[in-house]
Amino acid sequence: MKKLFAVALGVLSAIGGFVDIGDLVTNALVGSRFGMSLAWVVLVGVLGIVVFAEMSGRVVAASGRPTFDIVRERFGPKVGLLNLGGSMAVTLLTYIAEIGGIALSLELATSVHELLWIPVTAAAVWIVLWRAKFALLENVFGLLGLALIVFAVALWQLGPDWSELATSAATMDKPASEEWSTYAYFAVALFGAAMTPYEVFFFSSGGVEEKWDRSSVATMRSNVFIGFPLGGLLSLAIAGVATVTLMPEGIEVETLGQVGLPVAIALGKIGFAIAILGFFAATFGAACETGLSLGYSIAQYFGWQWGKFVRPREAARFHLVILLATILAAVVLLTTIDPILVTEFSVVFSAVALPLTYLPILMVANDRGYMGPLTNGRLSNTLGTIYMVIVLVASIAAVPLMIWTKMGTS
Amino acid sequence: MRLRLAALVGALFITSSCVAASPDADTYGDAAASSLGTAVSEVATVRTLLELLDSGDIPRPAVVAQLRYSEDALTKASQGLGSLNPPPEQDALSDESGRLLDEAGSLLQEARIAVHRGEKAEYRTIVKDLDDLGARLEKLEASAS
């Protein structure tokens, strides 16, 4: 019974914790401009994160060490540093976007300008990362993030023509007013949002925090195989409500308020309030995950003590990295840069950095020396190889498409 | 020599950045369509917000926050187009889009003031005006692109 409860809690947290500011904004924006014609990218992205999260979970279960600790040992400090530099730059960008997302959620709830919330939110995130226990911050924000189910309820309440939505998704055809280059740009951005690198850093190091071993593989797989796809359905629901309500009105999503507008149309004030709670939980949870990921990866590379399973005093440099990253995030946001713009950059550069994150995982998961009986099987390797090709194409295409389409505005 | 060349390139870059762009007719048309598209989106957003606020379906703080963003986005779009030198053959488009963008700015300002004062009676009049303006903006956007 206790194990069943742990599995259920893990699955629910995985669903609620799947969506972050990048998913919220990108899915709503794409839904408002392209309808459901890019839904296939969400499916491809979710399957990709499932494949690689399961792989990195197995690495932890087999070795008791986080994936990128092994990457450094297996590939040496130079390759490790390249991996660390690229991945951490993107994770820092995501961290800034998530803290900005919390401030935007609070602005929607209070009408107080987001700039005034930035110092408060940054301080709150840091205090939670410093003081709260790992299980608490993982489960509380994951469960509160389930408030985003309100988007699925709103879609059902709006009573759309389901066959029309399905046809739009199946035909993958862009609206006549959009260019194919813009379609490709948003496909890459959606893919980057679904496969954000920090998700595997957090998943892998979190497994060590929770002391996974070979007996934990079944629980880990249930979280990944059930929780992530259901989280992906939330992404599709966000795109779906935008397709049904915003697209016909010519509203193109540029703010978090516009992301929530369809919920107010479908469910009124209470629904909108629940959506704001979901925004807050999703961005706060993701800020904690990205902040920890920065500390985890840097501390693991340099061989420092890390993690929430030891007292802050014993992992002082790990906590110092998180503190400095939080201060930097607040300073960047206080320059009045638009957090939504940071989010758009973060999902595109996530796509650029994907090979740096996923190639080492694929290689380590094939190393019998570390993995023993949990080494990749034929299915994992086939999927992993196919995804490496997709990831490479997305990575190479991301920046040229961003410049060519002026970040999707042309 | 290299230093002088770098200084010259730098000076040219800075000078050219300070000069208003003079695009050809097609590029100006695309820029106008993009600005008008932003205006269509923001006008429709504010119209929806006022309808929801009037029927009590959205919390007021969220409307106040979104109105701020919609006004900012419209101002940026309007200034962006206004900073371009239109080619002579696009004078009519430039005049008409400038007029409609100004009108949109005024209506969004009216909406903000009405929401701030809680003047519910004004909402429906503004919604009707936004509806009418939205249709004209869409028409001009379609002809510009």
pLDDT band per the 50, 70, 90 thresholds, residue B101: very high
Q: Give pLDDT, residue A200.
A: 86
Interchain contact, A276 vs B62, CB within 8 Å: yes
Nearest to A59 by CA among A197, A212, A195: A212
Residue of A nearest to B73 (CA): A254
pLDDT band per the 50, 70, 90 thresholds, residue B19: low
Half-sphere exposure of B36 (CA within 13 A, CB side): 27
Residue B14 pLDDT greater than 80, yes or no: no
Residue of B nearest to A253 (CA): B41
Domain boundaries, chain B: 22-144
- Please report the DSSP string for A125-183 in residue order: HHHHHHHS-HHHHHHHHHHHGGGGGHHHHHHHHH---HHHHHHHHHH-PPPTTS-HHHH
Residue A203 pLDDT greater than 90, yes or no: no
E strand or H helix that includes residue A34:
helix A21-34
Q: Which two tokens stand for residue A124?
A: 């709150």
Across residues A57-62, what is the average pLDDT? Answer: 92
Integer angstrom CA distances of residue A313 from A134, A140, A295, A319:
16, 25, 14, 9
The stretches of B21-119 forming alpha helices (DSSP H) are: 25-54, 60-82, 91-117
Which CATH number fits the domain B22-144, given the four candidates 1.20.120, 3.30.70, 1.10.3710, 2.60.40?
1.20.120
- Quick check: helix, strand or coil at residue B87? coil
Residue of B nearest to A410 (CA): B34
pLDDT in tens, B37-71: 999 999 999 999 999 999 999 999 999 999 999 99
pLDDT in tens, A292-344: 999 999 998 888 998 888 888 899 999 999 999 999 999 999 999 999 999 99
Place of tokens 């998961």: A365
- Select from B40, B59, B145 the Cβ nearest to the Cβ of A269: B59
Distance in angstroms (rounded) separating the CA atoms of residues A168 and A193: 21
- Contacting residues of B for A260, CB less than 8 Å apart: 62
Distance in angstroms (rounded) separating the CA atoms of residues B6 and B91: 38
Q: Give pLDDT, residue A397.
A: 96
Any chain A CB within 8 A of the CB of B44? yes
Place of tokens 């469960």: A143
Place of tokens 């970040």: A407
Any chain A CB within 8 A of the CB of B75? no
Any chain A CB within 8 A of the CB of B52? yes
Q: What does pTM read for this prediction? A: 0.91
- Contacts of residues A210-217 at CB distance under 8 Å and 24 or more positions apart, as own/partner, are A210/A134, A210/A135, A211/A64, A211/A309, A212/A57, A212/A60, A212/A61, A212/A64, A213/A61, A213/A64, A214/A61, A214/A62, A214/A374, A216/A61, A217/A57, A217/A58, A217/A61, A217/A374
Residue B1 pLDDT greater than 50, yes or no: no
Any chain A CB within 8 A of the CB of B73? yes
Q: What are phi and psi of A307, to 5 degrees?
A: 110, 165
* Minimal C-alpha gap between B135 and chain A (Å): 11
- Quick check: helix, strand or coil at residue A115? helix
Nearest to A122 by CA among A291, A239, A311: A291
Distance in angstroms (rounded) separating the CA atoms of residues B126 and B128: 5
* DSSP code for B31: H
Q: What are phi and psi of A367, to 5 degrees?
A: -90, 105
Residue A15 pLDDT greater than 80, yes or no: no
Residue of A nearest to B56 (CA): A269
Interchain contact, B68 vs A110, CB within 8 Å: no
Q: What are phi and psi of A209, to 5 degrees?
A: -55, -40
Amino acid making up residue A241? V
pLDDT in tens, A106-144: 999 999 999 999 999 999 999 999 988 888 887 888 889
Nearest to B82 by CA among B102, B108, B67: B102
- Cα-Cα-Cα-Cα dihedral sign, residues A307, A297, A220, A153: positive
- Contacting residues of A for B53, CB less than 8 Å apart: none
Residue B3 pLDDT greater than 50, yes or no: no
Q: What is the mean pLDDT of chain B?
A: 88
Longest Cα separation, chain A: 59
Q: Give pLDDT, residue A153.
A: 97
pLDDT in tens, B114-130: 999 999 899 999 999 99
Any chain A CB within 8 A of the CB of B38? yes
Interchain contact, A109 vs B58, CB within 8 Å: no
For residue A218, how far is the Cα from the chain centroid? 23
Residue of A nearest to B131 (CA): A249
pLDDT band per the 50, 70, 90 thresholds, residue B9: low
Q: Are B39 and B100 in contact (CB under 8 A)?
A: yes
Nearest to A6 by CA among A218, A209, A178, A244: A218
pLDDT band per the 50, 70, 90 thresholds, residue A223: confident
Residue A70 pLDDT greater than 50, yes or no: yes
Residue A212 pLDDT greater than 80, yes or no: yes
Residue A245 pLDDT greater than 70, yes or no: yes
Residue B5 pLDDT greater than 60, yes or no: no
Q: Which two tokens stand for residue A367?
A: 């190393």
Percent of chain B residues topping a pLDDT of 70: 86
Integer angstrom CA distances of residue A248 from A245, A314, B77:
6, 56, 21
* Minimal C-alpha gap between B38 and chain A (Å): 8
Q: Are A54 and A220 in contact (CB under 8 A)?
A: yes
Distance in angstroms (rounded) separating the CA atoms of residues B71 and B111: 10
Percent of chain B residues topping a pLDDT of 90: 68
**CA geometry: angle at A22 spanning A85 and A34, to 5°?**
125
Residue A13 pLDDT greater than 80, yes or no: no
Residues of A in CB contact (< 8 Å) with B are 107-111, 113, 177, 249-252, 254-255, 257-258, 260-261, 264-265, 268-269, 272-273, 276, 409-410
Distance in angstroms (rounded) separating the CA atoms of residues A183 and A191: 12
Half-sphere exposure of A147 (CA within 13 A, CB side): 22
Q: Which two tokens stand for residue B59?
A: 């919390």
Q: Are A130 and A325 in contact (CB under 8 A)?
A: no
CA gyration radius, chain A: 20
Distance in angstroms (rounded) separating the CA atoms of residues B109 and A241: 28
Percent of chain A residues topping a pLDDT of 70: 98
Residue of B nearest to A408 (CA): B34
- Please report the DSSP string for A208-243 in residue order: HHTT--GGGHHHHHHIIIIIHHHHHHHHHHHHHHII
